[in-house]
Structure formats: C-alpha cells, structure tokens
Structure 1
Amino acid sequence: MSSIGPPRKLSIVIPAYNEGATIHLILNQVKAVKLLADIEKEVIIVNDCSQDNTEEAVQHYMAANPDLPIKYRKHTVNQGKGAALHTGIREATGDYIVIQDADLEYDPEEYNVLLRPVLRGMADVVYGSRFMGGKPHRILFFWHSIGNHWLTMLSNAFSNLNLTDMETCYKLFRRDLVQGLHLEEKRFGFEPEVTLKIARIPNVRIYEVGISYYGRTYAEGKKIGWRDGFRAIYCIIKYGLFT
C-alpha cells in the first residue's frame, strides 16, 4: 500500500447527541492539544438531532473561539452514532481522521499517542486500546468489560486481527481509506463494521496503542446498552461472513 506522506491536517469527528452539558469541555480539551509535527486540526461536530441545548452550546462555542476551525452539521432526525460518524467522515478533509466522543471518557491529549506510528511511517490505521495497560482506567462495569473482550475476540476471529479493544472510540484512519468504505451501520454497529471492512483492505497497516479511559456511568450519560451488544454480534457475523 502506498503512503500519503506525513499528515498535515487531522480531522476530529465528534458525534453528539444530548451533550450540551459537556461538549464545550471536550472542545476546550481539543483546542488545547498541540499536535506533533505542527499538524493542523479540523473539528467536525455532527449533532444527531439532540433534544437538549447541544446546538446552542456548539454555536456559542464557535462564536467565542473563532481560532478553532469547526464545521457544524445537524441531522433533522435522530439516526444514531454511526450515522453521525458517516456524515462526519464524509465531510472530513484532513489527511487522517480520528473519532472523538462528545463526553469526557477519552482524553484528546492522546491524539499524539495515536499519531506516533503514523508519523514514523508505519501505520495507516491506529486503534487506541483501553486494555493494554499503563494508562489511567476508571473502574466501572464488570459485565461491560467481559462483553468488550468477547466482542473483540469474536471480531478478531473473523478479521484475523489481534486487537485488544475493537469497541474503542479512539480510531485513527487514513482519510482516503475510510472514505472509500461503504459503511451501513447507523448505531453502535459502526465499530465492528468498520473494523472488519478496514481489515480487508490489501496490505493495510493497523496498529494499536494504549490509551486512558475515564468512563461514565448511565447516570452520567452513558448510552450504549445490552441491545447494542447483540447488534454488534449480528454485525460481526454479517460483515465477517457475508460481505
């Protein structure tokens, strides 16, 4: 696979649904990060028809921080996280794209951790693993961790990868590769679908690095549930066997 050279711009895609209380905080963190090699930032926020003040919070932030390049897009009907990511990926113009949740579970300071294999000319795709150790990790749900490990193992069996965290939010892609995929899943099935489809690209170079995880409880706004786990199993089988 040919290289596209060192990245000059990173597109940060932020899907948002009812994140009015925290989105300004995550944008402050994104703004504060100084990327390695003077890489520019492009922020793309996709509001998936939030029912709270997410839109007002984003518009206020954009007006108060004109030095942070932000594209704002809004769905008029709630479609799901995957659909918001489809919109953000389509809008991106950076050499690489990273996914950033609008909550505070992942630390934007670690974009540079994800970028290091790319800057060394070694990687086309980098996953940030919550389970590789050596980083802060909030202790929360036992069965969630078991489910994550099991889904990752099942995905690995179909993709022939040896990832430790397929369900991670922090995924960094070469833009041309991920924009070249036909992505279908509109909710949390995005994670196994994109993993299985990326893994099939000839000679793609996939790396994994350890990252921190500051998880939320359901009372704090966590949205993924057990139904999404069953959907993930369906997606792994569907895209692993029949696509």
Structure 2
Amino acid sequence: MTPPRGWSIPRPSMENLDVAQDGIGSGEKPRIVGTREDEAWRAYFERSAVEEPRFSFGVHYLRNDVAETMARAIPRDARVLEVGSGPGDTLARLPNAVRDGVDPIRAAVEGARRRHPGLNLREEDALTMRLDERYDAIICDRLVHSVPDIQRMLENLSRHLSPGGRIFLTCYNYLWEVALRAGEMAGFKLPTPPANWLGESDLKNLFEIAGLEVVKLEDRMLLPMPIPGVSGLLNRYVSKLPLVRRTSMYRLYVLRRRGEAVLPKSLPRVSVVVPARNEAGNIPKIIERTPVMGAETELIFVEGGSKDDTRGTIERAIADYRGPLKLSVYGQTGKGKGDAVRVGFREATGDILMILDADMTVPPEDLPKFYDVMVGGLSDYVQGTRLVYPMEAEAMRFLNKLGNIGFSKLFTYLLNQPLKDTLCGTKVLWAQDYERLAANRAYFGDFDPFGDFDLIFGASKLNLKILEIPIRYRDRTYGETNISRFRHGWLLLQMSAVAATKLKFT
C-alpha cells in the first residue's frame, strides 16, 4: 500500500455514477430501496448484536482468526476503517493509531463502544455512508453475503480510500454453503436469511466492474472450531497446501483501485543504484547507455571492495562527465549486494528507486519500461524476469536456470503472488514505499545478502502490487559472476523458510 504522495489519477466514471444515481453532488446521501431480504438481514444483525448461538465457540474462533489475519495483513501505519464493524473485536486487535468503524445496527455500535471505548464508531451503512475521512485500509468482513448491491458497496468503499489505499475483503467459500447451514441447524451459528453466494469468477467480475483489482489473496481455515492439537495443524499448515486450500472456509482478498498512479506533485525524479564489484570494464558503458527518466536521473555507484580498478574508473568517469545524468559514488561498508543496495538507497534523492546490475546482463536501455509501468499506475513494485525470452548462450548456466525456475514456483506459492524470476537484479519501487519497507525490516530480520528478498518480502508484507517485465538477458562481456550456485542455493532455501514462517504459515 503506497502512502499519499500528492495526487492520483481520478476515476471520473465512479463520480458520474454517483451524480446520476444518487444526487451526491449536493451532499445528499444515496437512497437504497429496501426489500424483504434486506429487512430480514437487518433483523438478523439486530438479533446477533444481542444474542449468540447456543454453541458460540466456533463463532468466536472464526472471529478471532479474522482479527489475527487483519492485524498481520494491515500495515501498522495505516489509517483503518471497518465497515460492518459489529462487536468491534477486529478493530480492537489492531495496533493502528486510527481505527474507525461503521455499522448500521445501533445496538451493535453501542455494544462495541462499551466493549472497546478506544474505538471511533458510528452508525452508518456501507452502501450509503459519506465520510469526510479517507483511509489507507478498509476492512469488509463477509458483507458480500448480505448486502443488496455488492457492486455499489465496492464502489463506495473505493471512494473512501486514500491514494494507494487497500480494501481487505473476506468472503466464505461457496463450497461451505451446506456446511454452514448444517451448523445453523446444530446451534453453532445463528440462522441467516438467504445469502449471496459467489464463486471466484463472480467476485473478480464485480471487482473489475467496480474499478478494483486483486493485489493478493489468502485462503484460510479448514476446521472452524478449537480442538487442541488438531485445529492449529489443519488451519495453519494443511489448509495452505496446494489443492487443499481450495476447500478452505474463507478467503481474504487484498484489493486496490485499478490503474491508480500515485505521483508526486511534479514529474518524479529517478535514482538508479548500481552495485559494482570488480566491474571496471563496464562502468563507461553504464554511464553512456543509462537514459534520462522523469524530471532528473541520478546514477549512484556503490563500490564493494573491488580487486580491479572499479573505484578509480568510476571516479575518473565522474570527473570527465558532462552529460545530463547526476553521478555519484559511495563505498560499501558491509558485504554482499544487499548491503550495497541499502547504501545506495540511503543516499538516493529520487522519488523512484531502481537497481541496475553492473554486469550489463540487463541493458540500461530497458529501464524506461519500468519507469512507464510505475508512473502509469500499473504497479507499486516492478522487477524484471529473465525467463521469458531466449537467452544468449553464456548468460545463465543450466543448473542456475533450473534453480531459478524452481525457486520462482516456490516463492509464488509462499507469497500468494505470481513471481517468475525472483533473482533478476533489476527492481524498481517508490522511495516512500522503500522507507516504509525499511522501517518494518525487523519483522523479517537481517537475513538476505542478495537484497532481492529483502525487497520482495517487504513489498508483499506492505501489500504492494507486484509486476514483472520480461527482459532479454545478455552474456556478461567483462569480468566473472559473483554467484556461487550451491552456496547461494542453500541461502535461497533458508530464505524460503523465512517466507514460510513469516508470510505463509501464519
């Protein structure tokens, strides 16, 4: 989730819809025509605000899992709104400073205020609310099953997002419809009126219509009741396995406004960081071939204790340079590419941060593709993939390619986001997102000498939209690779364990 940077590309079609259907231009709230089903659902929620099922432990177990999931998924610095906040338990579990809730049932709001006096709660409906505030995170827990107009609700939630905000929407798996009805008959759940049951394609269609797109998703829970030694195993591990996850009880969707470009007030500046160790022969070509992007492009070399004359070559090139780029060089104090990237990003002054490997296997001329995707609002975090186009003969050894393909499948599974090439060195993100990523680095620890997974895991944790751009991977023309396939392969397995424990099996 990208924090506000000034302005975003508006979606006029949504505002036109408001004026045409609702008369919102004058500040009037929209009118929803009630039906018998709507009244039945209102009666259900009024009852559930003061009454629990005969056997309530399953309801509390599910509610607790949703609260824990939201606390883990929503960044701590986000301004949060929950629609249909009910008893307020989910909001109360969050550590965030701003925790607002709305619910159309007065008894639910009053009860939640008594239970959690620190929350800001009000009586409003998710379809008709018109709040002055805008939020970085909006929680919508299973409301899609009860509202009379899902599209309208989604559009209204989108309208209340701050630039770069996210909607955290949960819904039941339609395969559980019969099981949930059986639970009602057995007294584990209060009986509900006829509900909206939606498949994956139904939901994605509604997201598309409402101008939203899925950033990532997570399937949760096989056993919705606390059985010592069994529930934890099934819900934390087994439910996340391929194929099995399709039978989980509910799903969390993280949504963002489609095509939203969150830009600074002026044309963005670009910082290209080049970690360079034993790359003296490539330095002149990098400077010559790096294009100017945005309002200004700075090229930052971070030299890592080279045995050749890399540092001297950079310094002489900077002294002789008379072109449009802003050039600088810094010495690396630690070890590894990851440390060099951190040094370069710390010194960068641009709005967009890029990494370019000094071996020139990814041409600098490809960087504008990444810039265009970022300023076009298609993604918050972009990296290259070398595994689409044919490679030159010596660009990647056979075992390295097999390893890259295998780890891409593994990390796609662990991160719940498709990734084809985790180790491509070209990576791009907004500087403000990197600052938030770095501030939350303690969650994963100092585990990554490459620097790739520090950024990928951090981007996933912040719910950033991740895209990959196919690039043509070239042969190295100077020097030797710094990659040790077996030693670094072992490190990749260790990083897989970090992703599994911190992101997947939680």
Per the TM superposition, whether the score is higher than 0.5 is yes
The answer for the alignment partner of 2:418 in structure 1 is: 162
1:69 aligns with 2:330: no
Written as runs of structure 1 = structure 2, the 5 A alignment for 1:88-99 is 88-99=344-355
1:138 aligns with 2:392: yes
Relative distance call for 1:171 and 1:230 in structure 2 (3 A) is same
Shift of residue 196 of structure 1?
Answer: 1.7
Aligned residues of 2:415 and 2:499 also touching (Cα < 8 A): no
Q: Give the Cα–Cα distance (whole angstroms) in 1 for the partners of residues 275 and 500 of structure 2.
A: 26
Relative distance call for 1:119 and 1:242 in structure 2 (3 A) is closer
Q: Percent identity?
A: 27
Q: Give the Cα–Cα distance (whole angstroms) in 2 for the partners of residues 54 and 40 of structure 1.
A: 25
Q: Which residue of 172, 197, 201 corresponds with 2:462?
A: 201
Shift of residue 186 of structure 1?
Answer: 5.5
Aligned residues of 1:79 and 1:187 also touching (Cα < 8 A): yes
Q: Secondary structure at the match of 2:272?
A: strand
Q: Secondary structure at the match of 2:271?
A: strand
The answer for the alignment partner of 1:129 in structure 2 is: 385
Written as runs of structure 1 = structure 2, the 5 A alignment for 1:82-121 is 82-121=338-377
1:213 aligns with 2:473: yes
Q: Which residue of 2, 7, 16 corresponds with 2:276?
A: 16
1:147-169 CA distances to partner (integer Å, 9 max, x unpaired)?
A: 01111111112111111111111
The answer for the alignment partner of 1:222 in structure 2 is: 481
> TM-score, structure 1 length as denominator?
0.87
Q: Select the structure with the greater relative contact order (CA < 8 A; seq sep ≥ 6).
A: 1
Alignment-mate amino acid for residue 176 of structure 1: Q
Report the more deviating stretch, 9-18 or 67-76.
67-76
Written as runs of structure 1 = structure 2, the 5 A alignment for 1:45-60 is 45-60=301-316
In structure 1, runs of 5+ residues without a counterpart are none
Return structure 1 stretches of 4+ with deviation > 6 angstroms.
none
Shift of residue 185 of structure 1?
Answer: 4.1
> TM-score, structure 2 length as denominator?
0.44
Relative distance call for 1:220 and 1:58 in structure 2 (3 A) is closer
Shift of residue 181 of structure 1?
Answer: 2.0
Q: Secondary structure at the match of 2:281?
A: coil
The answer for the alignment partner of 1:79 in structure 2 is: 335
- Taking only aligned residues, the RMSD between alpha carbons, in angstroms, comes to 2.1
Q: Give the Cα–Cα distance (whole angstroms) in 1 for the partners of residues 384 and 273 of structure 2.
A: 15
Aligned length: 233
1:49-99 CA distances to partner (integer Å, 9 max, x unpaired)?
A: 2222111100110011143311211125x5111110111111112111110
Q: Give the Cα–Cα distance (whole angstroms) in 2 for the partners of residues 163 and 181 of structure 1.
A: 19
Q: Give the Cα–Cα distance (whole angstroms) in 1 for the partners of residues 461 and 295 of structure 2.
A: 29
